[in-house]
Amino acid sequence: MNVFNRIVVILLILVLMILIPLALIFPEQAQVTLRTGANIIQANVDWLNALLPQSEIAIRAVLSVAGLVIFLIGLLLLVLEFVRFRRRTVRLRDGSGELTTNGIAEHLGYYIDLLPDVVRVQPAIKSKGKSVSATLSVETAPGINVPEKSSQIRETARYVLEDQLGLQVRDEIRVVIRPSSFPKRGVGEKIPPIIAEARKAKEAEGTPRHVPVVATEEVVATEEVAPTEAVTPAEEVAEAEEVAPEELAAAGTEGGQGDEDEIVEGETFEFKAPAEEEK
């Protein structure tokens, strides 16, 4: 039917696009053509009136039947154009049997509904006799990757129709996805992490980064420490004089022993040095 409609429309367009411009450009020739056609019709009418009554009745009956047949053909085409009779079954690819379109839709909807993030599916199956065409209206969860989900649904549907049911898919499987609406976010509710990270990345690319200068604890600690007081030589002498005589005596005794040890060691060193030089 689609091929017939295309042929009729193409012919009508060709006739109109040729005749109407010629009639507008050459009106005199168009008038002559119309007058010639009218003369032919008038000659046929005169010929019909000149016949015998029996012959005239027979010819008029034939013309009436021809007109009625043309009218019925046009009416049938008009009905087929507006009222399309759908086939309820589809023949299998190997010709071993047929499947109903309702069964195909239920079988296909069951497997599509098992996919993740699929909330609801409404398959529409149209039979082409030996093949089918499928349209899937799918409602999915919000926030999904629509191209990936559409490809997954199309591959699953083709696998079910061709491999499991043994049908031939005529056209490309049409997938119509309608993501569910997001729940209304409250005043204090946070933005989802993925969207929040994407938004922060865009803001970071658009605005220059400012690194704040923060004083460390060590710097603060060094600033809070009070400066040490310098000790003068006079104060050191005064502190030395305040030492008890007994402590000075003990220190002197220990110092004397240390000096003797140093002198003995010094004598030994000085004695061995000339010997090594003489050798």
pLDDT reported for residue 266: 42
Quick one: 61 and 95 in the same domain?
Answer: no
Quick one: 77 and 95 in the same domain?
Answer: no
The domain of 20 spans 2-82
- The total of structural domains in the chain comes to 2
User: Which segments of the chain are extended strands (E)?
Assistant: 89-91, 98-100, 118-127, 132-140, 174-179
Domain finish residue from 28, 47, 82: 82
- What are the percentages of helix, strand and coil residues in the chain, rounded to 5? 60, 10, 25
pLDDT reported for residue 51: 82
Q: What are the 10-residue block averages of pLDDT along the chain, 279 residues in total?
A: 79 90 91 92 87 85 92 86 76 86 91 90 87 90 88 92 89 88 63 59 59 43 46 50 49 46 43 44
Domain contains 98: yes
pLDDT reported for residue 189: 55
Domain contains 170: yes
Q: What CATH number does residue 112 fall under?
A: 3.30.300.30
d(CA 169, CA 162): 7
pLDDT reported for residue 273: 44
